[in-house]
Amino acid sequence: MIGAGLMCFALAACGKQGPDAGAAGTDGGRIECAIGAKTDWTRDCVAERKGEVLTLRHADGGFRRFHIVKDGRGLVPADGAEQATIDIAGDRQIDVTVGDARYRLPATIAGVSR
């Protein structure tokens, strides 16, 4: 997991035009995800941002909801007891893992020299 002091990011694909933005990005808000143990990455999830809440919807109807926070953590789960881990996954991307669900999100990462 990234240290709180290193990571402060803005979700590039989830930029909002107003207080309530629907599906983000130019690809209908689609993001890469791997839902379930030992599954491959697919582009089957949809990211939706409404204010400071990010909802990641699965193809099977399931979803995860996160609060976007500005304290260096980036995202925290809005529901449930499972904690999220966030790792840098390359240039301008992060991997968010909660339970056996993994999501790859575009991000602007501050405090990391590239």
**Tens place of pLDDT for every residue, the chain, 114 residues?**
444 333 444 454 444 433 344 444 457 899 999 999 999 999 999 999 999 999 999 999 999 999 998 887 788 999 878 889 999 888 889 999 999 999 999 887 766 554
* Dihedral over alpha carbons 109, 34, 100, 8 (to 10 degrees): 10
* Residue-range domain boundaries for the chain: 23-110
Residue 14: φ, ψ to 5°? -115, 25
- Considering the domain delimited by 23-110, tell me its CATH architecture: Roll (2.30)
Helix (H, G, I), strand (E, B) or coil at 31: strand
